[in-house]
Structure 1
């Protein structure tokens, strides 16, 4: 009888939440525009982790975790303390030091307080690597496009590691694999180290000369 029940027809909008109007335009005749309609976010279906894409081993940065609906809108009703578990970054080689968020190791749930769908925490990474940081509350997570890619650089040199092949022959240059490696405090290779500015002295318990 000239009336369409848009509710029973399943009128649905999927996209960016907010306030807007809807216009209905016939092939012939005058269009009609609705009054302002507020579209709220849907249910939380994923988490998004954001922060800085570079970090130094042992250094920290503040990461933000946001609850989002399927369209990427912030779900403001996702509030209060949530147990969030982080993954995607490895422990340093020597000593083995596990990365943390808010003082809790990756792989162990830490309580983050969400306000209007958003929470923050201090993240410390220790292994020099390209990490892909993921967060989950046990039901939803950030592995559907909401992970944070972080390139972790080694810190400054604090120690050396040496590996020499045995046996060797007197008076002949050493053969085999013989390496001296500059390491930071966490066992990452300190790629920026130069012995020109930090000379290395070689000694031995044997009697003789080293060249």
Structure 2
């Protein structure tokens, strides 16, 4: 088992790590989403939840990688946090994705078919957003608050971080954003989130693997 994995396990779901700054962060998320619900911005609300749910799915399989290898997750978050939910996911990261998913939709052109340099604007924005997030991850890794232990997932090989770590988040989020009906948005987001919950119940609650 790697050093960083051992450090993360020491604080995994340890309530004694709690810090009060979690509360205002949570209130900020509530404010943002209730504000958009009040504005009837259902596109943004469901897209934001989809973005967050996609990240949760990634965090689950990342934790399973650690379980099956016994060495390390693909990425870890072993440093100080108010609560480490999974080995690579702390509560601060989770809150960040909840806000980012909603925030990125504010940048989208109203016309989903508009072209940018000949490419669909959703694909362009998803690509640029993913590149931006990869750059942020590289910075976080450089100061050891987000750790990588495998050569295929590193600053020397950032393409998988781009293709698996972020691009699906943006593509699914924007796909949900552009759906024609609230019913379709609800069914899609509920399906993703429901699958995440089932995985957590099985792998964390019952099997204790993650």
Task: Indicate the TM-score class for this superposition, using the shorter chain for normalisation.
Answer: under 0.3
Whichever structure has more strand as a proportion of its residues is 1
TM-score, normalised to structure 1, is: 0.20
Higher RCO (C-alpha 8 Å, min separation 6): 2
Higher helix share: 2
Task: Using structure 2 for the length normalisation, give the TM-score.
Answer: 0.20
